[in-house]
């Protein structure tokens, strides 16, 4: 895969079912960050020759992004409703078009944990959004796009 630019990356929400997804791009986003981390467990023994040994445990993900406050935008309305109604929303954070086999990213059913409005004097009103995978029958997964 060639180098990709952030402006070519895509954030999608699923308006279908998990088994038969209908991916709709959320275009009203700026500066998306997909943070992936693992917990750690210390497995140090005397056989490590004085070195600490660590293995990875549970994976953790969060998706942070900013949107222009636009109540007519369907993507914005879906994120806003998920926050205020305490409902999950399935998202895919992709490096390109979800139909491009070279595109990859995280697919997860998420809960919206932060929906903070910013009202800078000389800027459009925006909202900072933070979502994380939530309790669901389908674990988060790393996917590749499909034709």
Question: Residue 1's pLDDT is what?
Answer: 54
CB neighbour list of residue 48: distance below 8 Å, 6 or more residues apart: none
Question: Residue 147's pLDDT is what?
Answer: 52
Phi, psi (degrees; rounded to nearest 5) at 82: -60, -40
Say how far apart CA 79 and CA 70 lie, in whole Å: 11
Q: What are 54's two structure tokens?
A: 């660590």
Say how far apart CA 86 and CA 11 lie, in whole Å: 20
Say how far apart CA 18 and CA 40 lie, in whole Å: 31
pLDDT 10s digits, 71-99: 999 999 999 999 999 999 999 999 999 99
pLDDT 10s digits, 101-114: 999 999 999 999 99
**CB-based burial, 28-62: b 16+ in 10 Å, e otherwise:** bbeebebeeeeeeeeeeeeeeeeeeeeeeeeeebb
Query: Locate tokens 């750690």: which residue?
Result: 40
């Amino acid at each position: 895969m060639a180098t990709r630019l952030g402006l070519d990356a895509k954030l999608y929400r699923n308006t279908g079912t998990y088994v038969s997804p209908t991916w709709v791009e959320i275009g009203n986003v700026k500066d998306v960050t997909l943070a992936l981390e693992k917990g750690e467990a210390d497995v140090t023994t005397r056989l490590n020759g004085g070195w600490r040994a660590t293995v990875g445990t549970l994976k953790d993900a969060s998706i942070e992004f900013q949107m222009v406050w636009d109540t007519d935008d369907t993507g914005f309305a879906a994120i806003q409703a998920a926050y205020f109604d305490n409902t999950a929303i399935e998202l895919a954070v992709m490096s390109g078009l979800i139909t491009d086999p070279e595109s990859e990213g995280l697919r997860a059913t998420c809960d919206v944990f932060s929906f903070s409005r910013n009202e800078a004097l000389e800027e459009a009103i925006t909202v900072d959004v933070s979502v994380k995978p939530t309790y669901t029958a389908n674990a988060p997964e790393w996917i590749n796009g499909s034709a």
